[in-house]
Amino acid sequence: MGDDHRARRRDGEAAPGDDGLTRDLPPAVTADHVSGGRVEVGIGAGWWEREHELYGFDLPPVGPRMEALEEQMQIVRGHWGEGPFSFDGAHYRAHELDARPKPVQQPLPLILGAKGGPRSLRIGARWATEYNTVMATAEEIADIRKRLDEACEKEGRDPATLPLSMMTGWLVGADRDELLDRASRLSRWKGEDGDGEAYIAGLRPSAILGTIEEAIEQLRELEAAGLTRIMGQHLLHRDLDAVALMGREIAPALAG
């Protein structure tokens, strides 16, 4: 987990069923130009049924979603590639598509969000520039990394060219008192009783949790297991001190 001082924008993850291609691709390219080539686009198969209901999107069964996901990956690559692109799939079609402008980055980073299933590993090995999983322990990361390497080898790809990242919970304090204060505020934010100790006890084992030293130890274990970078879910959005703590104390300890 090296230290990259350039801020990057990660576009919201598109999922089959929510018309993500037509909505997200042109703005992503525009943002890539405006930012000087710092946009990353995430694509996944979708999973949260309630979210789809709220926004009026269909959530097909897993099989068709994975089929559509693989077609999406191909469409995205062709959409941003050089020259006209045609595609005739079961879910998507394109005829002599030559969208312009092209992204600044070639290829523009395309992150596949998934849980480590065999089909997603194959799709990632074939089309993605990064494989992103969620809420995994170091042991689970090691297993995903091993199977991702195997998928890359089957596709004739160097596994070193496909980084593995993760999104997970993040609750860190400079000391125990600060940690409990943040846990208490998170508990109240979620409509609970504000008991910081109880909130901490209920977190998943995959969460980055503890003091600075404890968080660094967890992150090093994940790095040793094969994780390249982490997306921490910081849910106290107005707590900028917590963000500063990451940059001031944690990122430098992991740099290099």
Q: pLDDT truncated to tens, each residue of the chain (256 aa)?
A: 544 444 444 444 444 544 556 677 889 999 999 999 999 999 999 888 998 899 998 888 999 999 999 999 999 999 888 889 899 999 888 899 888 899 999 989 999 999 999 999 999 999 999 999 999 999 999 999 999 999 999 999 999 999 999 999 999 999 999 999 999 999 999 999 999 999 999 999 999 999 999 999 999 999 999 999 999 999 999 999 999 999 999 999 998 6
Contacts of 4 (CB under 8 A, 6+ apart): none
Q: What angle (nearest 5°) sits at the alpha carbon of residue 114, between those of residues 93 and 164?
A: 115
Distance CA 110, CA 43 (A): 7
CATH T-level fold of 38-162: TIM Barrel (3.20.20)
Structural tokens at position 2:
């090296």
Q: Is the pTM of this model over 0.85?
A: yes
> Tell me, what's the pLDDT at 202?
95
pLDDT score recorded for residue 34 = 97
The per-residue pLDDT for 21 is 67
User: What SS3 class is residue 136?
Assistant: coil
Q: Is 60 helix (H, G, I), strand (E, B) or coil?
A: coil
Q: Identify whether the C-beta of residue 66 lies closer than 8 Å to the C-beta of residue 113.
A: no
Domain spans of the chain? 38-162, 169-255
Rounded Cα gap, residues 127 and 105, in angstroms? 16
- Is the separation of the CB atoms in 136 and 168 below 8 Å? yes
CB atoms inside a 10 Å sphere around CB 71:
20
